[in-house]
Structure 1
Amino acid sequence: MKPAFAGATALLVSLSCSAPPPLPMLGQIPAFALTAQTGQPFQSESLDGKIWVADFIYSTCTGPCPRMSSLMRQVQAAVSTYGDAVKLVSFTVDPERDTAVILAQYAERYHAQDGRWFFLTGERETLHRLKREAFKLGDVDGSLNHSTRLVLIDRRGRIRGYYGTTDESPVVQIVRGIKQLRKEAS
């Protein structure tokens, strides 16, 4: 084998084995206090030191929400061996209807694991502000239509990725991002 060809081959092999670039830092999630599907207060501090995936849904949605929740269920299954390190959080965009009791029923429908996947409700303005300002997810038309993106958040509460429900293999992409964040120093 010629030295130039061997050198080029070695370079290509080393590049293909290198670590992927770090995920971008796209914003910081501020502290929040809401109510979980259990009826108990939920403080964002309970997510400190955890990697988490968030979405915005509502229980009576017949559009994208069932797909979003199915994707979240698949993420939950994919990270089941990670113990307490990864959480899922679904925020309602319809808090007037989505009480803790309704969200508990919705959680049951999607086999949400207690302590891993939280469904949160609260004051409409608080939820709207979180969605719009913290998560940077706008309303589609001012109604209950909402973003269909899932959001990956790191251990420090920083947004590290957005994943659309129509993206190719969103669960694979999210789990890949989670694995990458697990390797990062906290």
Structure 2
Amino acid sequence: MVSTAIILSSCDTSTNGKLPILGQREAVTKIVDGKSVTDSVYQTIPDFKFISQYGDTVTAKTLDNKIYVADFFFTSCPTICPKMKVQLKRVYERFKGNSNVMLLSHTIDPAHDSVAVLKEFAQNLGVMSRQWLFVTGDRDKIYDIGQNSYMVTAQADSSAPGGVVHSGAFILVDKAKHIRGIYDGTTEAGVDKLMNDMDRLLAEDKP
């Protein structure tokens, strides 16, 4: 027999020195050897299908066996996006060539940010590798995964500069697709903390 219950608390507060796991968790109770055993099953990033600046399909499988940093932006953003991309470029340079690390930037203005626009944007940033992917796709699916999976704001708002409201957060995701941290992507201090936590997360896989 298996029973489940959704726990709405935000994280694992274990004291084992590892980064917490953020998001919802589900308590799953099983009968093992005649005894009731309860385990926690944590929220994970679901499968998705978007298109990169190279024109190929990017899915959750593309990120298998990687830790990655996700964010949401749009190329014509007049407010926080330029700051975010300066900071995420620091992460890119810091971990460039590390096969265990990827960056995933989702446009929230897919009507404008075509594959060609994203490719030019990436090139102007000096990004020439597939370690940092800029993805576009169905707007509703992008907004949905932002708000319901990555736990950040991403929505149209005609009163906002650029017509879109979105979070300036960078989201750190582990190899099991669990969220392990959310950081202010507009500040040097926030991104310093992110890079430190990326080192900690990479170290978790080492014997």
Q: TM-score, normalized by length of structure 1?
A: 0.83
Match of 2:87 among 40, 53, 71: 71
Distance 1:62 1:20 in 2: 42
- The match for 2:137 among 116, 122, 135 is 122
Aligned-partner Cα distance in 2 for 1:139–1:80: 28
Does residue 183 (structure 1) correspond to residue 197 (structure 2)? The answer is: no
Query: Would the alpha carbon gap of residues 71 and 118 (structure 1) be closer, same or farther in structure 2, given more than 3 Å must change?
Result: same
Alpha-carbon RMSD: 2.0
User: 1:166: how far off?
Assistant: 4.7
Worse overlay, 135-144 or 169-178? 135-144
Determine if contact 2:87/2:186 at 8 Å carries over to the other structure.
no
Partner of residue 191 from structure 2, selected from 168, 171, 177? 171
Identity of aligned residues (%): 29
Number of residue pairs the alignment of both structures matches: 167
Higher helix share: 1
AA at the equivalent of 2:193? Q
1:79/1:49 CA distance change after superposition, 3 Å: same
In structure 1, list runs of 5 or more residues that go unmatched.
Answer: 1-18
Distance 1:87 1:26, change over 3 A: same
Residues 68 and 101 in structure 2, CA contact (< 8 A), matched pair in contact too = yes
* Residue of structure 1 in register with 2:21 after alignment: 25
SS of the equivalent of 1:145 reads strand
| TM-score normalized with structure 2 length | 0.75
Trace 1:48-59 onto structure 2 (pairs within 5 A).
48-59=64-75
Give the aligned residue type for 1:182.
Answer: L
Q: Is the radius of gyration larger for structure 1 or structure 2? A: 1
